[in-house]
A and B are shown apart, each in its own frame.
Chain A
Amino acid sequence: MSRLEAKKPSLCKSEPLTSERVRATLCVLKGILTSSYGPSGRLKQVHSGFGGCVCTTSQSSALLSNLPVTHPILKILTTSMQNHVSCFRDCGLFTAILCCNLIENVQRTGLTPTTVTKLNQHLLSLCTSYLKSESCGCRILVDFSSPQTLLCLVRSIVTSKPACMLTREERDHLSALILRAFLLTIPENTKDRLILGNSIIVPLKGQRVLDSSVLPGILIEMSEIQLMKILPIKKSEAFKVALFCASLSGDFSDTGEGTMVVTYGVSLENAVLEQLLSLGRQLVSDHVDLVVCQKVIHPSLKQFLSMHRVIAIDRVGVALMEPLSKVTGTQPIGSIGSISPSSYGSVKDLCPAKFGFKHFLHLIPYEATICSLLLCNRNDTAWDELKLTCQTALHVLQLTIKEPCVLLGGGCTETHLAAYIRHKTCNEPESILKDDGCTQTELQLSTEAFCSALESVAGSLEHDGGEVLTDMKYGHFWSAHAEAPSIVNWPDLLSRCGCGLYNSQEELHWSFLKSTRHPFVPQTYLPHEATGSADNLTLDCFTAKLSGLQVAVETANLILDLSYVIEDKN
């Protein structure tokens, strides 16, 4: 018996942003995100009352995917951020916090959504064109001849994930490993298009982080007994490999749509097995040393191969097939009929390896863009966080290869950009006002909302109650310890700015971030010497941050522009 429930009418709410509940939940979400931001961010423990695993994290990808969000407006926000993160893997918290700040600030100004969205769009295009321009004072071109910039970039990413629980030594070790793993995926000689390989992350939990390492080639995990069986491996110049994507289990599925009538006494199993064995004979006569199969190999064939001292490995899974085909330099074989001799690949060496409690067969290639990153950490949650961090860093490095520049991190880009926008709209408002029909006051209010949203993202980096400041020359971000004496001598208290580029001993003037100050021109054109000398900079991915900025403003505009929410409650 089935019973259909009567349909509930849809819920329609006007001006959703004015509702107290929405504001409160938005505030809570912002609080969660803000407190997780940056290297000194607080961790969040997400767990379900029904049990299951516990997630301790401060990363946006883990946080946003686990947070239960019900209100449609918040859903837009979190979905937008998750989409950004799945594209770029970085700057998720930056984007989300900026978006929340913008919504909050704009509501406080009381301007109409039409005006605000228009002006926000203008301010955004000012930002993007400045960040892309030659004169940009917070962008560094990456010099690929030295690893320093890339290493700084990786270290900044690793440092900004406190849930990995790394010591300084471990951070440095891991940053170097990640960079090495990435460099191994770059092909040595490329023609016209650069096709990067990939790094396979191999889990090794319960070990010290310092035991992590990078190996060229592929590690195939197997049990000790399996490994014992194939040992000792006979030595040769090169190992010939046959890589199968077709099943070698003797199954027979592609008979067609019609019926098949088998006369009594005819055994199909025997026929198929006979075929498999003849395949085995061909492999042996072709002097194949290693047979790898994505699916299952028939035990008889396996035995036949091992009798002829051919190593057979099955069930490697579809995920490993592409790296395997790159490492061996061949295409997977999809037929058990005749095999063209050209479809055998080769590896330089095969050796058994043992890391921690796990046994592997290590395939060492001649020259390939595949490497294995053995990642160790003490427990599961920390390992999960570390894995996400590594993936982020590797992806950011890929993005940086495509667009070879980085932005200054540690909040300096945000404050610098805010100073630039303030100066621009104060001194040249005509360019914005001429085609929009907005008043000067509206522009000023909107600029203030936009810039203070950017600055409070930078301010969110400070979690210990310290003062946040900006200097009046470069527009960089500075933070001071909370236990400051009442009469302060700023140059002594502040040592370096957020990104680490500038020293407090210069003749600088500071101002509190929250206070109002005169618009000034932040120094543009970053001198090359300034970046070359500093070896410990905090850097951010250019592509991810730029896109994050755009997505944040667009999402905020989208949310601010909503005047009705119609919900189907069925």
Chain B
Amino acid sequence: MTDGEQDSLASKHMQTHRRHWKNCCRWKLISQFLLTFQTHRLDYIVDHYLSRHFGSIFSSSTKERTLCRSSLESLLAAYFGGRVGRNNRDFMSRLTCDYFFKCMARERGSEEVLDLVDDYFVELSVGVTGLPVSDSRITPGLVLPRDFSVYRPADGDIRIVIVTETVQPLFSTSGSEFILRSEAQFQTSRFWIMERTKAIMKHLQSQNVKLLLSSVKQPDSVIYYSGLAGISVVECLSPEEVSLIRRITGLSPLALPHASSQDEICNTVLVKFCKPLTFRSKRYVHLGVISTSSFIPHCVVLCGPVQGLVEQHRDALHGAFKMLRQLLKDLDLNYLIQTSDQNHTSSPLVYNESDPLPEVVNGSIQRPRQDTVLRNKSKPAKTQTYSDLVVPSVELETCIIPCSAPKVTPTGTYQTDETLRCFSPTKTRINGDNEPFIESNSANSTENTRREISYENLQITKIPGKGNLLPVREKTLEICAAQGHCFSTIPAGCVLPVGGNFEILLHYYLLHYAKKCQQSEETMVSMIIANALLGVPKILYKSKKGNCSFPQIYVRTLHALQTHQPMVSSQTGLESVAGKYQLLTSVLQCLTKILTIDLVINIKRQPQEIYDQDSEEEV
């Protein structure tokens, strides 16, 4: 190889390396934009635009916040749609709904119930194979998957205790030593142990204790003496079961050294019943514990012909409760309020010479840009027309400017742009009366205007924040004046219809936002996200034809959005907004991370150990 060849190779290598490095730099930059956009802008878009479409699973008719059963059922049906077989979907969503309402003592405690069900779902569900799925049911109380070690039927006041060690004293505990000096000593020790066990049981009996729950295996003699004392015993409870019972009833384990003293044992609770239960010739302990919290204990018995199906249903059910747990919590949003760079946020106003009114996109609050104000100044005659602060029922013209997509946008955008372009010539007339239209007429000082607007903004969002009405617009907006941070929430229970609604809406508003902002990188990032979002409904409607095909749905939705008509969904299900939104932010975070990776180091781990360590040392 000649030097020249080597040089050219090296330079080629250098070139590819440089190209790679350049790419990395660009990706890094994009990832930074993505991160900034996700942390500072996305919440704003959701809070300001998307939130107006949210529905709620709480029924709006009553003053109290009550869960609407039919909404919950359609939410769950949509959830189970992708997780269990088609023919079991409705059954499972009904079962879940029933379970949830049965467990809930009062409406307010739904969060507590969901937390508990999610944490202890394994203990609260029983799987039975060999029976048809339709035999699944809900039983009141707790079902422990083991048999009684000894069962004494009892009625009336049934008290229970929990022990976490053997009731019978042992010769020596760990770390101690028992020194045996004579045979008589051994015999008396054993005698004492027996007498002590008997005494503890007698004492428990005198306290009306009818059931002993033990997290460890008890010796035969304990079982025998408890049987004599009329106390049933269940052994080998798992730590989770013990902690579930403790959490429901507030019962703490019995401290044994004090158990035989004459004073009353305080660590007992009442149960409604305690009896054996049989599913397909397997025995269970059925315990009617009385709850001190807002959770009314119920167990769900899941049946199915094969184990795999039962497991699938159990996981789906658990997932449904996780989803509900998320849904019924407020999701905090916080973003930078854009007081300083208002220029970028306000949409480009296009003046129609014949019409003095500004065109507004979707009736959102418009603020005059600096240049428009300047223009106003130059045409003082026009300023007069802006005298009304609030203009109700104005005929507005929607304007969708066929925006020239920036060159950076990845492939795949042309389609949407086309659709948009198709749409833009059809100018639709809309009534903008549903939004307060604020137009500043003070052409004197732009500074003044800005302050006023932000104040207005604050007012508008704060007013509905107090009531217990529909939580759709229920939010407390706090603005830290110094940093321009704004804290808001997606309120608990917010839902959207399924079928790509979330994605199309967000796509629409992101495009809308992209048009308004002047920073090219923000435009780029929001376009990227907007177009990527559209991929989901595209897949959803892939198999559909005719009226339900994706372009049709897309066009119809856009039309509805532009004309302020209610959106029509072809499907009946609902989905959680908070869950969807969190998923989106996670995806963006993940993407951000992936884009900053510049090198993937592949290591071969398989096959792992070919030689023993010893032989390696020998070598």
A positions within 8 Å CB-CB of B? 1-7, 76, 79-80, 83-88, 114, 117-118, 120-121, 245-246, 254-263, 266-268, 270-271, 274-275, 331-335, 337-338, 340, 342-343, 547, 550-551, 554-555, 557-558, 561
Expressed in whole angstroms, the Cα–Cα distance for A554 and B309 within the complex equals 11
How many Å lie between the Cα of A334 and that of B229 in the bound state? Answer: 14
Q: Does B459 contact A (CB under 8 A)?
A: no
Kindly specify which of B393-401, B462-470, B604-612 makes contact with the partner chain.
Answer: B604-612
Whether B220 pairs with A259 at a CB distance below 8 angstroms is no
Q: A246 — nearest CB in chain B belongs to which residue?
A: B220
CA distance A128 to B499 in the complex (A): 35
Q: Which residues of A contact B132 (CB under 8 A)?
A: 547, 550-551, 554
| Contact of B607 with A268 in the complex, beta carbons under 8 Å | no
CB distance from B329 to the nearest CB of A (A): 35
Residues of A within 8 A of B280 (CB): 86-87
Q: Which chain B residues lie closer than 8 Å to A342 at the CB level? A: 228
Complex formed: what's the CA distance from A272 to B282 in Å?
Answer: 39
The distance from the CB of A97 to the nearest CB of chain B, in whole angstroms, is 15
Chain A's nearest CB lies how many Å from the CB of B62? 30
Q: Is chain B's interface secondary structure helix, strand, loop, or mixed overall?
A: mixed
Q: Are A84 and B86 in contact (CB under 8 A)?
A: no
Are A266 and B181 within 8 A (Cβ)? yes
Give bound CA distance, A88 to B194, whole Å.
45
5 A-B pairs in the complex with CB atoms less than 8 angstroms apart? A6-B607, A83-B307, A88-B130, A266-B182, A334-B224
Could you tell me if A334 and B187 are in contact, using CB atoms closer than 8 angstroms?
no
Q: A7-B606, A87-B130 are in contact. Are A79 and B307 (CB under 8 A)?
A: yes
Name the residue on A nearest B132 (C-beta): A550
A256-B173, A257-B170 known; A334-B130 Cβ under 8 A: no
Interface size class for chain B? 35 or more
- A337: nearest residue on chain B (CB-CB)? B194
Among A1, A121, A547, contact of B87 (Cβ-Cβ < 8 Å): A121
Q: How far is the CB of B197 from chain A (nearest CB, A)?
A: 8
Total contacts A-B at CB 8 Å: 171
- Closest Cβ–Cβ distance, residue A420 to chain B (whole Å): 20
With a cutoff of 8 Å between Cβ atoms, the chain B residues found around residue A117 in the complex are 85-87
Mark out the residues of chain B between 590 and 619 whose CB falls within 8 Å of any chain A CB in the assembled complex: 606-612, 615
Which A residues lie within 8 Å of B309 (CB)? Answer: 558
Chain B residues closer than 8 Å to A555, beta-carbon distance? 305-306
Shortest Cβ gap from A8 to chain B (Å): 11
Question: Top 10 closest A-B pairs, CB basis?
Answer: A258-B172, A256-B170, A334-B220, A334-B224, A83-B130, A337-B194, A550-B132, A257-B174, A87-B130, A80-B305
Residues B224 and A275 in contact, CB atoms below 8 Å apart: no
Contacts of A343 in B (CB 8 A): 224, 228
Given known contacts A261-B180, A547-B131, A561-B85, is B219 in contact with A4 (CB within 8 Å)? Answer: no
- Known: A334-B225, A550-B134; 5 extra A-B contacts, CB below 8 A, are A80-B305, A255-B170, A255-B172, A337-B190, A554-B133
Whether B175 pairs with A262 at a CB distance below 8 angstroms is no
> Which among B171, B219, B280, B305 has the greatest number of chain A C-beta atoms within 10 A?
B305
Measured between beta carbons, the chain B residues less than 8 angstroms from A271 are 183, 186-187
The CA of A117 and the CA of B194, in the complex, are separated in Å by 63
Nearest B residue (CB) for A116: B87
Tell yes or no: B178 within 8 A of A by CB: yes
Please report the C-alpha to C-alpha distance between residue A555 and residue B190 in the assembled complex, in whole angstroms. Answer: 58
Interface pair B194/A335, CB less than 8 Å apart: yes
A83 touching B306, Cβ below 8 Å:
yes
**B518 is an interface residue with CB less than 8 A from chain A:** no
B178 / chain A contacts, CB cutoff of 8 Å: 255-256, 258-261
A-contacting residues, B464-522, CB 8 Å: none
Q: B164 CB to closest chain A CB, in angstroms?
A: 15
B125 sits at the interface (CB 8 A): no
In the complex, the answer to whether A258 meets B190 with C-beta atoms within 8 Å is no
| Cross-chain contact A266 with B228 (CB below 8 angstroms) | no
Q: Does any Cβ of A come within 8 Å of B227's Cβ? A: yes
Contact A84 B607 (CB under 8 A): no
Say how far A11's CB is from chain B's closest CB, in angstroms: 18
CB closest chain-A residue, reference B175: A258
Q: Are B131 and A87 closer than 8 Å at their CB atoms?
A: yes
Cβ–Cβ < 8 Å partners of A256 in chain B: 170-174, 178
Interface residues of B (CB under 8 A from A): 85-87, 129-135, 150, 168, 170-183, 186-187, 190-191, 194-195, 198, 219-225, 227-228, 280-281, 304-309, 606-612, 615
**Set B171, B307, B607: member contacting A255, Cβ < 8 A:** B171
CB-CB under 8 A from B85, the residues of chain A are 117, 557-558, 561
Please indicate the chain B residues that have their CB under 8 angstroms from the CB of A340 in the complex. Answer: 228
In Å, the complex CA distance between A103 and B385 comes to 76
Q: Are B228 and A274 in contact (CB under 8 A)?
A: no
Are A2 and B612 in contact, with the CB atoms below 8 A? yes
A185→B134 CA distance, assembly (Å): 31
Report B230 CB to chain A, min CB distance, Å: 11
B606 and A557: CB pair below 8 A?
no
A551 touches B173 (CB 8 A): no
Which A residues lie within 8 Å of B220 (CB)?
Answer: 245-246, 334-335
Given A83-B130, A117-B87, A271-B186 in contact, is the A331-B227 Cβ separation under 8 Å? yes
Using known A-B contacts A245-B220, A254-B219, A261-B180, determine if residue A275 contacts B173 with beta carbons closer than 8 Å. no
**CB-defined contacts of A120 to chain B, threshold 8 Å:** 87
The minimal Cβ–Cβ distance linking A486 to chain B, given in whole angstroms, is: 46
Q: Is the CB of A5 within 8 A of B228?
A: no
B contact residues around A334 at 8 Å (CB): 219-225
Interface centre among A84, A268, A343 (most CB of B within 10 A): A84
Task: Tell me which of A80, A85, A120, A554 has the highest count of chain B C-beta atoms within 10 A of its own C-beta.
Answer: A554
* Chain B proximity of A117: nearest CB distance (Å): 5
Partner of A332, one of B135, B224, B306: B224
Residue from B134, B179, B305, B307 in contact with A84 in the complex, judged by beta carbons closer than 8 Å:
B305
Check A259–B177 contact: CB distance below 8 A.
yes
| Complex alpha-carbon distance, A245 and B183, angstroms | 25
Minimum distance in angstroms from A170 CB to a CB of chain B: 29
Residues of B within 8 A of A4 (CB): 606-610
* Contact assessment for B86 and A1 in the assembled complex, using a CB-CB cutoff below 8 Å: no
Residues of B within 8 A of A337 (CB): 190-191, 194-195, 221
A86: chain B residues within 8 A (beta carbon): 130, 280-281
Q: Which residue of B lies closest to A84 (CB)?
A: B130
Complex contact A561–B86 (CB within 8 A): yes
- B133: chain A residues within 8 A (beta carbon): 554
Bound together, the chains give a CA A342 to CA B230 distance in angstroms of 12
How far does the alpha carbon of A547 sit from the alpha carbon of B177 in the complex, in Å? 60
Query: Which B residues are in CB contact (< 8 Å) with A7?
Result: 606
Checking A257, A258, A262, A551 against B180 with a beta-carbon cut-off of 8 angstroms, the contacting residue is A262
CB contacts (< 8 Å) of A332 on chain B: these are: 224
Query: Which residues of A sit under 8 angstroms from B170, Cβ to Cβ?
Result: 254-258
**Taking CB as reference atom, which chain A residue is nearest B218?**
A334
CA distance A84 to B280 in the complex (A): 9
Residues of B within 8 A of A267 (CB): 183
Smallest beta-carbon distance B281→chain A, Å: 7
Q: How far is the CA of A66 from the CA of B280 in the complex (A)?
A: 22
A324 CB to nearest B CB, Å? 15
* Cβ-closest chain A residue relative to B128: A87
Is the pair B177, A261 in contact by a Cβ cutoff of 8 Å? yes
User: Across the two chains, which residue of chain B brings its CB closest to A119?
Assistant: B87
Q: Which residue of B lies closest to A122 (CB)?
A: B87
Contacts of A561 in B (CB 8 A): 85-87
A83 partner residues in chain B, CB cutoff 8 A: 129-130, 305-307
